[in-house]
Amino acid sequence: MAHTWDPDRYRMYDDERGRPFLDLLARVRAETPRTVVDLGCGPGNLTALLKQRWPDADVRGIDSSSEMIEAADVPGVAFEVGDLRRWTPDEPVDVLVSNATLQWLPDHLELLPRLLRRVAPGGWFAFQVPGNFGEPSHTIRTDLAARAPYAAHTSTVAVPSSREPVDYLRALQVLGCEADVWETTYLHVLTGDDPVFTWVSGTGAAPTLQALPDDLRADFEKAFRERLAEAYPADSEGRVILPFRRIFAVARKEPTT
């Protein structure tokens, strides 16, 4: 079952979701790139930062979700629906960015050579993926989804995953890149009713929730909310701390000589 994305729900935590993008971009040292592409651009709010950084560049955003592309509206930026596995630019680009997208492709480590071929010699390839799939925000969903009667509907849904930082570093080095790979665990302070559920239901848990029929989804959500609230208790001020590990990679392709 194909799932869809809700741009409004996804953007409920814009500041928290945007911070890793800024940290990733800070280590891309391109000065005057002609072409910049954001693969998995979502609603385009972060792609706008690429245009701000390089106002004279041709900046484009690509996303497989038509809902996200319809919501994207940034002056001077062209957006289009496309599958990054088959995306081929007219000519290699100077900066290629992919933020919190590759984790949806189980074979994304093997996809790196293809993506790097889309980067011009001397150009930059930067990506960021979550590295928190062993945390309760994911393991609770996995456990519930594997139980009857939910498993009959959720066994084939898309589930995000990533590799360890050293895996990305070695892969990029083998491809001849000068690579910088690191990880950061953010401590997001969330408020409101069931904030962790609100967070995950807009991203990693969305395919599971959409796969469930209406008569099962309510019970699943109730159990999911309760277990998340136990795993991430609020303090006396109603604040919930969500630790979120992310993995970053910035690679520069070898210039031609």
Pairing of strands 93-99, 35-39: parallel
Q: What is the rounded average pLDDT of the residues 125-130?
A: 98
DSSP 111: H
The domains of the chain, with CATH numbers, are: 7-252 (3.40.50.150)
In tens, the pLDDT along 37-51 reads 999 999 999 999 999
Say if residue 124's pLDDT is above 80: yes
Q: Which residue has the higher pLDDT, 152 or 2?
A: 152
Compute the average pLDDT of residues 187-205: 92
Model confidence at 168, pLDDT cuts 50, 70, 90, reads: very high
Average pLDDT rounded to a whole number, residues 129-140: 96
Share of the chain above pLDDT 70, in %: 95
* pLDDT tens sequence across 198-255: 999 988 899 999 999 999 999 999 999 999 999 999 999 999 999 999 999 999 999 8
Residues 11 and 46 sit within 8 Å (Cβ to Cβ): no
- CA angle centred on 151, ends 150 and 154, rounded to 5°: 90
Average pLDDT over the chain reads 93
Quote the pLDDT of residue 204.
86
Q: Considering only residues 17 and 66, tell me which one the structure prediction assigns the higher pLDDT.
A: 66
**Rounded mean pLDDT, 152-178:** 95
Confidence of residue 167 (pLDDT cuts 50, 70, 90): very high
Residues constituting the chain: 257
Q: Which of 221, 214, 207 is nearest to 140 (CA)?
A: 221
Contact criterion met (CB below 8 Å) for 207 and 158: yes
Residue 6 has pLDDT above 90, yes or no: no
Q: Mean pLDDT, to the nearest integer, of 167-176?
A: 97
Asked if residue 69 lies in contact with residue 79, where contact means CB atoms within 8 angstroms, the answer is: yes
The answer, yes or no, to whether residue 130 has pLDDT greater than 60, is yes
pLDDT, tens digit, for every residue of 75-103? Answer: 999 999 999 999 999 999 999 999 999 99
**Cβ neighbours of residue 6 closer than 8 Å, sequence gap 6 or more:** 67, 202, 206
The residue among 208, 184, 185, 197 whose CA lies nearest residue 232 is 197
Residue 9 pLDDT more than 80?
no
- Give yes or no for a contact between 186 and 246, defined as CB atoms under 8 angstroms apart: yes
Pairing of strands 119-130, 240-252: antiparallel
User: From CA 98, how far away is CA 26, in angstroms rounded?
Assistant: 14
Q: Rounded CA gap, 52 and 209, in Å?
A: 36
Q: Between the CA of residue 235 and those of 89, 186, 242, what are the distances in Å?
A: 49, 18, 12
Res. 13: pLDDT tops 70: no
pLDDT of residue 202: 85
Q: How far apart are CA 230 and CA 227, in angstroms?
A: 5
Give the model's pLDDT for residue 12.
57
* Pairing between β-strand 178-190 and β-strand 77-81 as defined by DSSP bridges: unpaired
Residue 249: the pLDDT is 98
